[in-house]
Amino acid sequence: MNPTDRFHKIDKDFRNPYARDRDRIIHSGSFRKLEYKTQVFLNHEGDFFRTRLTHSIEVSQIARSITSQLGLNESLGEAIALAHDLGHTPFGHVGGDTLDECLKADGFKNGFEHNFQSFRVVSGLEKRYKAFDGLNLTFATLEGILKHSYPYKKSFFPSIIHEQFNLDAHPSFEAMVVDRADEIAYISHDIDDGVNSGLISFEDLKQSELALEILDKVAAEGVGEENDEMFRYRFSSHLINHLVYSLLEYSAPKLKDAAILTPIGFDAALETKIKKLKKLLFEKMYHHKNIVRKMYAGKQAIKGLYSGLMDEQNMLPEFYYLQLDKRSKHRVIADYIASMSDRYALNFYNEMYGKI
């Protein structure tokens, strides 16, 4: 038999629906732009810092591991994870918060919210088909993108979204997994980036019971000093493994009880430890003056871009300019700003107003 004959028997599209969703997300323009969007540190500050793209990949990897071990749909979890941050603006959460403030100040009570924006990206803003807008994703993936973060019901979602996706109901277990995988990923890699940049130290982290437990595990390996790259790597590895295994141990038996609506999580003691560690990161790192200064510059850039584009719509690219006759000017401009990378937003702002 000709070795190639067996390929002729393969269906035209051999992927399952959620694997197809995943591939469409990966090949979207919005996914590629995540490479140049801030996680904590501005993209241009160093090649070793995480971006929205590397974060999404790490969340996807953790979600795949968890879903496969719990007998859930791995491809669905992967698709939701890869798409969960597509709606983020440049400059991290401060960019989204600033765009939200700009819209609300102009009377748009729904403002801007990145989870809903992620849904809008894959369901309408991406253009890949002549006959319709969006990426043509499955209902389960769209629902997971909308409802992957708690609380699932958001008051600012349009009524049609409430009707179509029943926001009073809990999301799929895969979406719940992505919510927790997101948390595991950003805690571990923010610590890695924070220690690497000198914004926080392992000495600071010893104030956290959870971090102290992980530090003891790393120290027992004898891998070197706390400021060594290997030490940081082993800390991240142990932290991720500890949280993933703890989640699996807690969640696996809960999935067997149909009466438990939210079975994915950690036991109460670990939940408390995680909250205290996150509080420490907010105090020591996210509110560090070096981060605050950079984010303040980003905030001014978002305000300036919004104001300038509202004043002169002819600066919009043709794709967005042509939408002004069909949709609100405010929303078109917000969509354009949200689509920008950090670097593009700063360059555009500097072109408008001069260097900041």
pLDDT score of 58:
96
Q: Where residue 47 falls among pLDDT bands split at 50, 70, 90? A: very low
CATH code: domain 18-291 is 1.10.3210.10
For 110, the token pair is: 């729904």
Residue 140 parent element (H or E): helix 139-147
Percent of residues, the chain, with pLDDT higher than 70:
90
Contact 123, 134 (CB under 8 A): yes
DSSP state of 149: S
Task: Give me the amino acid identity at 112.
Answer: F
Phi, psi dihedrals of residue 127, rounded to the nearest 5°: -120, 105
CA distance 51 to 92: 10
Burial of 159 from C-beta contacts in 10 A (0-12 / 13-18 / 19+): exposed
Choose the weakest-confidence range: 36-45, 63-72, 333-342. Answer: 36-45
Q: Please check the confidence at residue 157 and state whether its pLDDT lies above 80.
A: no
Q: Please check the confidence at residue 3 and state whether its pLDDT lies above 90.
A: no
Q: Please check the confidence at residue 8 and state whether its pLDDT lies above 80.
A: no
CA distance 166 to 161: 8
DSSP state of 124: I
Percent of residues, the chain, with pLDDT higher than 90:
71
Q: Please check the confidence at residue 355 and state whether its pLDDT lies above 90.
A: no
- Rounded mean pLDDT, 140-167: 78
* CB-facing half-sphere around the CA of 230: CA atoms within 13 A: 7
- Rounded mean pLDDT, 58-74: 98
Q: Which range scores top for mean pLDDT: 114-123, 162-171, 195-204, 243-252?
A: 243-252
**Residue ranges covered by each domain of the chain:** 18-291
pLDDT in tens, 168-227: 778 899 999 999 999 999 999 999 989 988 889 999 999 999 999 999 999 999 887 777
Nearest to 195 by CA among 216, 217, 211, 219: 211
Contact 198, 48 (CB under 8 A): no
Q: Please check the confidence at residue 7 and state whether its pLDDT lies above 80.
A: no
